[in-house]
Amino acid sequence: MKFTLKIWRQRSPQEKGSFETYNVDNISRDISFLEMLDILNSSLEAEDKLPIVFESDCREGICGSCGLYIDGYPHGPGKGITTCQLHMRQFNDGDTIVVEPWRAKAFPIVRDLMVDRSQFDTIIQAGGYITVKTGSAPDANAMPIAKEVANDAFDAAACIGCGACVATCKNGSAMLFVSAKASHLNMLPQGQPERFERARNLVAAHDAAGFGSCTNEGECQVACPKEIKMTNISRLNRDFLLDKIRNFLG
């Protein structure tokens, strides 16, 4: 298979970027999108040209570092997959493919297709943990948890922090990410002591980091490779409002 690639190149955050066109040939339909970029980079290096900078780590859909905007879709065409799980058989031979970085105010471009997502770390530091001293692991039946609650908490914990929700949101909101981190703790007994404080701190960190407001249009849920549900946003909003009421009533 052969493809024409229009890839965003930008040497630094301060410099102006632009699309550059590359042609790749003899590409197996069974390799991943990142492997195709590896092949392109090898050819660029052989010509003493600068390779294209992009992020990746596990290449198994776990780490969340490989996010690219491909043909107008976060992680490319396909549902419930990350960029590293996208294979070239998703495209037609001869296609022109447009590749961009995540574009959001809170995710400044570092170089080419790589963005700085460290603001996610500041959000986690604000409340993505529990400080309760639980001691040794209790017996499995000592703390009953409804199966529906456990399932929902586990689904929220599946968030890998890739930033697709931010990239696809017209407001650059990270509320799907924030709500997933809140839900997987706030729904479990161990997270109850700090439940409302956690909601308040996570939302404050989200806003301070420069992410936009959520307008509940649902692009984030569609783009999420782990299919995190918007019901988590509703749950976070409820806890945030309850915290306000509790503080008002004293």
Q: What is the CATH number assigned to the segment(s) 3-111?
A: 3.10.20.30
Nearest to 85 by CA among 58, 123, 54, 118: 58
DSSP helix/strand/coil, 76:
coil
- Given a contact cutoff of 8 angstroms between Cβ atoms, the answer to whether 26 and 88 are in contact is no
- Over range 48-54, report the average pLDDT: 98
Distance CA 46, CA 164 (A): 33
- CATH code: domain 117-249 is 1.10.1060.10
Q: Where in the chain is the domain with CATH 3.10.20.30?
A: 3-111
pLDDT digits over 96-152, tens only?
A: 999 999 999 999 999 999 999 999 999 999 998 888 776 676 676 677 888 999 999
Three-state DSSP state, 196: helix
Question: What predicted TM-score, i.e. pTM, was given to this entire model?
Answer: 0.92
Task: Give tens-digit pLDDT for 158-185.
Answer: 999 999 999 999 999 999 999 999 999 9
pLDDT, tens digit, 9 for 90 and up, residues 143-159: 788 899 999 999 999 99
**Residue intervals in the chain for CATH 1.10.1060.10:** 117-249
H or E element in which residue 73 lies: strand 73-74
